[in-house]
Structure 1
Amino acid sequence: MAITSHDVARLAGVSQPTVSRALRDDRRVSAATREKVRKAAQALNYVPSEAGRTLSTRSTRRIGVIVTDLTNPFYPHVIAPLHDELQALGYRMMLLTERSDEAVAEEKLLDQSLDGVVLATATTDSALPAQLDRRGMPYVFLNRETGRRGDYASVVDNEGGGRLVARTLAELGHRRIAGIFGAANTTTGRDRELGFRLALADAGIGLPEDRVARGAFEYETGYEALPRLLDAAETPTAVFCGNDVVAIGALNAALAAGVRVPDDLTVIGFDDLPMASWEVFRLTTVRHDLRELSRQAARLLVRRIDGDADPDGERLVLPTEFVPRATHARHP
């Protein structure tokens, strides 16, 4: 016969509700009583019922993570530390994958099976955050956000990172500069381009549209865009890519076209994924702490679930740094 919380209560000499509260580490129960209940539970090999806990606390201890682009090598490097941090905080992670935020079925998010949601691939025009707000579902943005005031987000200083690249290129003597940026409806694409353009303007360097491409943060975007940029009226000597995956696509396109990197063309990425440092690429890029990006998102969401987050929103921004490797050079 299965051991129940009533058996633990009899052995510990307390009431059954006290057992439930003690095993949830409820601070209304004294430390001595919590310890006594834990020892009784261990002696009986009692495992609390997750279903019963959910009914009593209205908490499932489950967090949903929405990712609409599992083919992108960026996301495994943020999902793994997110999982580990949520686990350390006492939550289980559920990965929800669809082609767009709007394709995420409401019943997956809003049927009280989740305590909160991490939005990892949000776009500025997504309707999902407003849906979650209406239902009172706590959520945070990871990496991308909507740009609204009052959001809860763990992000990178994308504008600052773009400025770093532009200043470096200007110092290296480049004047014919191109950009392969992310989609305009992503804050990562928009803000990296904005910082890059502003710093170029400060240096007196223009960025005409015939030296600009935009697209998804995918290998194909870099591979397909670079040949067109190389056919511009003035061939660029440097290209800034929206992320490392796009940059690797540009590197392969340059190789296919017989363009030498970095002798003929400087290529710079963003994110510093582990693959960027591989000897086959040795990609010059912009680094930020991928693991901390995820960890602080997990902590922020749990604080929001617990009611401890700033009611006016919190935006946690990680700094960036320039990482010189082998794909950049001074323009002669």
Structure 2
Amino acid sequence: MLNATPLFELRTVTKSYGKQTAVAPLSLSLQAGEIFGLLGASGAGKSTLLRLAANLINPDAGEVWMEGVKLELPSDMLIPGHPDIKIVHQDYHLSAMLSVRENIRYALRYYEKDYRDARIEELLALCQLQNQAEQPIKLLSGGEKQRTAIAQALAEEARVLLLDEPFAHLDLPNNRRLAETIRNIVTETQAACIFVTHHAADALSLAQRLGVLKQGSLVQTGTPEEIYQHPANAYVAGLCGEANVLDRAWIAQYFANQPWHEMPENKVLIRPEALALFKRPAAGRVEAQVERCIFEGSRYRVNVRLAEEMLVAYHSIALAEGRKIHLSPKNRPA
């Protein structure tokens, strides 16, 4: 059961720069131990929203709340921010010549030595950095730098952790290791975490709740499964993954009475994984033509032409371009 009072809230915050709206009226609340992902294209307002959440810039309107207390405006503070809210930027803000341990120690420089040393060891373990503790930052991989920046941000036991494009410069192994580190940190510390990204795979796999941002507005929020399977519109559908958005009446000519997801303006959404491709004709299958077949590792991405429309489907083996293929909806589990 969720607590009555959220750990962290944005209440109808807005931000504009001249005539350009960066964040439209937007509200968001998080509970302790929750990971919230913000997915949006470049220029959608993600970084501005993160700076508002960090209490680094004044909203034009609205308020930031922490555990039921409204935060003071940054302009009224000697140093903007909040001691319990930590933000990790894309460029890490680490000292390249210092070691991992020394970078974390710097964040704890005003604490007594015994506490500081114990806290450093705790953070090294929490962020899986024990083996890199004495290495200078300049010799680390992108994933190790990201985990060091998170350890430094958590040094003073942050209640809210804000991550700006945390996976932007990482290869796949470091990406997955960082995601697991973030999950472990949030579970163990019961902090609330907001991360922003423009990569759907990162947002869908890490977030417990997800918000899709467009031109400063939250156009949809929900679980990753809800947003992927039941997007509010074509923008959300396309941002979250490969999508066939088709006219309802047109697709009904070929596949009647299918439970496709209904979209605005008499459109339906068909994800590529909802389509099956067969070499032979049979009842319920329609003939199409393979236009392109692209290897993607665990599957092939196949562009098929059905009458005047181009559809995307996935298949387990390569299909020759130009060949005829037979298309049908996949049987869905009950």
TM range (shorter): under 0.3
Q: Which has the higher strand share?
A: 2
TM-score by length of 2: 0.25
Q: Highest Rg: 1 or 2?
A: 1
TM-score by length of 1: 0.25
